[in-house]
Structure 1
Amino acid sequence: MNNSLAPAYKKLFGEYWVLWFEVSNSYSIIEPKFKLLLESYLESNSKADFLDTISNDMSVSESNSVSETLFSYLNSCNEPYNSTNIPFTVLKTSQRNISETYTFEDKSIQINYDSELVKMTVHPALATYSKAASNNNILATFDLFLENDELLLFQDEKLISSASKHSYHIIQGKFIMHLLCALYNNLETDWIGTFHGSTITDGHSSILFIGDSGKGKSTLCALLVANGFQLLADDVSPLLSKDQHIYYNPSAISIKKGAFELLEPLVNGFENLPIVKFNKTKGDLKYMPCVKPNKDHYPCTAIISVNYKPNSKTKLEKVSVKTILETLIPDSWLSPNPLHANQFLDWLGQLAFYQLTYSDTQSVTTEIAKLFKQLNKKL
């Protein structure tokens, strides 16, 4: 058989195998029975050999069906990875209608926008840092413009990303990645990935919270911050190859209108935060700035899939890697570098996986505090 279609890496997590295919930079979660069939298929010299291997356990029609399924599976897992080729585009400096400088302690960047609407793409999450550079030392200059319904993101006058205005989250993610590179003096190729999730630290380790939009992960993080924990990253959590730690993302927590009433009595000054109207589907938003943690990065000990359910009891239960990766991977960026893929699988192997259902603010805070103590003992 064609062994070039075989996964480059494989790792067992409980009852599931996670495979990584280099050509497509894709991860697949399979059960042991399927893996045995897959290995037998790949080790066979021909289709006839494979059918002969499994003929004692299946009918001819079943054997053929299994062979076709495996062939289709391998082909789908080996569709070439499309790394976006950024065309050369000349920056139109005449579109620099609005300019903001953002200062993070002693480091500053500048962003130029062509309109107030485009400014809303990234400014609200960084508004608390909008101030003049104290030493006129600008690490990087970004330009964000809208042209023919395409958002164009430049860094130091070079186009680094473009996306439809309806896919503005792509630009947001790309900008955060390059902001982090500037702040930590890294290249994009130094990161294992950026996860679509929010990370909380207790000052010793961190926990990554994931979940589909509306499941309550940002609200939960705001609750935890109000109860003494610290926000390491909201929405985009970056993992560095050098130490496999999650690094601080200075963006404020994005809070939807449905959580305003819940958080107002718990978060000092929450009622005074301005309401941001940008996307009709997301509705009114508030961006809650948080105090920077004591350190720039922390090891991660667990990933928790969050599900806010009104009037539910707080329930924290262990789940499989399959449950976690099916939520984590689709909206995250993961490096195509084989070294990083191997590191990612090894990193996952050190974590605990949970699903959290909650509605009560006090009990969920207590439950997360207990989990931090339990996991920190294993560090």
Structure 2
Amino acid sequence: MKNNTSFLYKPVEDKTITWFENSNKYLVLENTTAGILKRLSKGVSVEEIAKALSKKLNVPLDKTIDFILDLEKKIYASKSTKKSFFLNDYRDIEKPTYFEFTKFYKINDIIFKVAFSSEYELYLVHPKFAHLEIENSENITHEFLVFLNNKYVFFYVDKNFIGAWSNKDIHYFQGKFSMELIQKIHQKEEHEWMGVFHASAVSNTEKTILFLGDSGNGKSTSLALLQANGFTCLADDFVPIANKNIHVYSFPAAISIKKNSVETLLPLYPELQNSAEYHFKRLNKIVRYLKPNNTDFYNHLPCNDLVFIKYEKESDLQVRQISKIEAFQELVPDSWLSPLKENAQKFLDWFHQINCYQITYSNNTKMIDTVSKIFKNNIDKN
């Protein structure tokens, strides 16, 4: 073996999902390729592997040697890491003496004081958490500072520097802000999370289902419809799963409702009529925010089902169980997954046992009925 790079393997259907420790990347490999990688990692020589492969596939030895050398080069390529100069120089950055906006958010019995140096930073955070705002409080549990310096957004939590992000990486700041929130709410450090998924999580008080899909497919709208029909919103857009019990944990952000879904939801949520509208130019979307019906932000539940959901005008209801490999390739790119080996193993084990579905619908009632059946394990999987 050429270095200390470690791998994890999980056979799924007719492929092998492989995790690479040096890059924290997951790849879906053909079983033959995964087998070569396993032997390389055990120190078996290229020549020995090539001879066996040449005989098995009935191809010239030089071709199999070239293939293995090319694979070895790609696998063991050095990992480059770009770091902001602020990681070294942040101590020289002066915090503002004045913050234009200060907000207080109450999440169960925890009170967060968040100070923003300008309206720009406020806009990055506040809309999703405005429903949690309370009046000025002296009983502060945690204090967050968000300010702009030299075109970078700086973030401090309880006087500790967390990071600094440029405008083009602002979504990483927003993700880190959310991660700091869940760590404080649920008393778990970053290493105690298996992953965070770009999804919507709905529960029936016993377990939860994750809704996934490209932006505009209707996962948040579907969540809002289900919330109005007896289900609970556990999380929207930012769905954390802990490593110890593999439970989805509650996240208190509001549900983001796109402009073209407002008319559909107004009969159920008249408050959307006069709610503020936010235009996110980078994402090319206009949204309003809907308060989740969750009353216990400490809540956490197991998840056994992923549903890729799509609203399609005038379509008949279509529901089918889909390939896990197909689901995996959709799930992973938009997810944050822990770089720790033990957490990667738990993720692979969890994914291996979940059910994956695709729902396409236009009739809301039929969609709700179908989701109810999935919760009850009463869905036709063919």
- TM-score normalised by the chain length of structure 2: 0.89
1:188-242 deviations in whole A, cap 9, x for unaligned? Answer: 2221121121111011100111222222211111121122211101111111122
Matched residue, 1:272 = 274
Matched residue, 1:33 = 32
Q: Which secondary structure does the structure 1 equivalent of 2:130 belong to?
A: helix
Structure 2: tracts of 5 or more residues without a match = none
Further displaced range: 265-274 or 203-212: 265-274
Q: Is the 8 A contact 1:44 1:50 kept in 2?
A: no
Matched, 1:126 2:126: no
Matched residue, 2:11 = 12
Cα distance between partner residues in 2 of 1:91 and 1:210 = 41
Please, what is the CA RMSD of the aligned residues?
A: 2.5
Cα distance between partner residues in 2 of 1:261 and 1:141 = 38
State the shift of 1:60 in Å.
4.1
Further displaced range: 123-132 or 154-163: 154-163
Structure 1 runs of 4+ aligned residues shifted over 6 Å read: 80-85
Cα distance between partner residues in 1 of 2:76 and 2:357 = 32
State the shift of 1:83 in Å.
8.8
Cα distance between partner residues in 1 of 2:303 and 2:263 = 31
Matched, 1:317 2:316: no
Structure 1: tracts of 5 or more residues without a match = none
> Of 140, 153, 164, which aligns to 1:162?
164
Cα distance between partner residues in 1 of 2:239 and 2:94 = 30
Evaluate the alpha carbon distance shift between residue 45 and residue 269 of structure 1 in structure 2; reply closer, same or farther with a 3 A threshold: closer
Evaluate the alpha carbon distance shift between residue 336 and residue 270 of structure 1 in structure 2; reply closer, same or farther with a 3 A threshold: same
Matched, 1:356 2:356: no
Cα distance between partner residues in 2 of 1:91 and 1:204 = 48
1:278-301 deviations in whole A, cap 9, x for unaligned? Answer: 435433210001121566100011
Cα distance between partner residues in 2 of 1:180 and 1:319 = 31
Q: Which secondary structure does the structure 2 equivalent of 1:284 belong to?
A: strand
Evaluate the alpha carbon distance shift between residue 209 and residue 201 of structure 1 in structure 2; reply closer, same or farther with a 3 A threshold: same
Q: How do 1:95-174 and structure 2 match up within 5 A?
A: 95-132=98-135, 136-174=138-176
Q: Percent identity?
A: 31
Q: Is the 8 A contact 1:312 1:358 kept in 2?
A: yes
State the shift of 1:310 in Å.
2.5
Q: How do 1:1-379 and structure 2 match up within 5 A?
A: 2=2, 4-5=4-5, 7=7, 9-42=8-41, 45-56=44-55, 57-60=58-61, 62-75=63-76, 79=79, 86-87=87-88, 88-89=90-91, 90-132=93-135, 136-279=138-281, 281-292=283-294, 296-374=299-377
Q: Is the 8 A contact 2:101 2:115 kept in 1?
A: yes
Letter in 1 for 2:263: E
Q: Is the 8 A contact 1:41 1:70 kept in 2?
A: no
Q: Which secondary structure does the structure 1 equivalent of 2:217 belong to?
A: coil
Q: Is the 8 A contact 2:12 2:324 kept in 1?
A: yes
Cα distance between partner residues in 1 of 2:94 and 2:103 = 18
Letter in 2 for 1:233: A
Cα distance between partner residues in 1 of 2:282 and 2:5 = 44
Q: Which secondary structure does the structure 2 equivalent of 1:269 belong to?
A: helix
Q: Which secondary structure does the structure 1 equivalent of 2:134 belong to?
A: coil
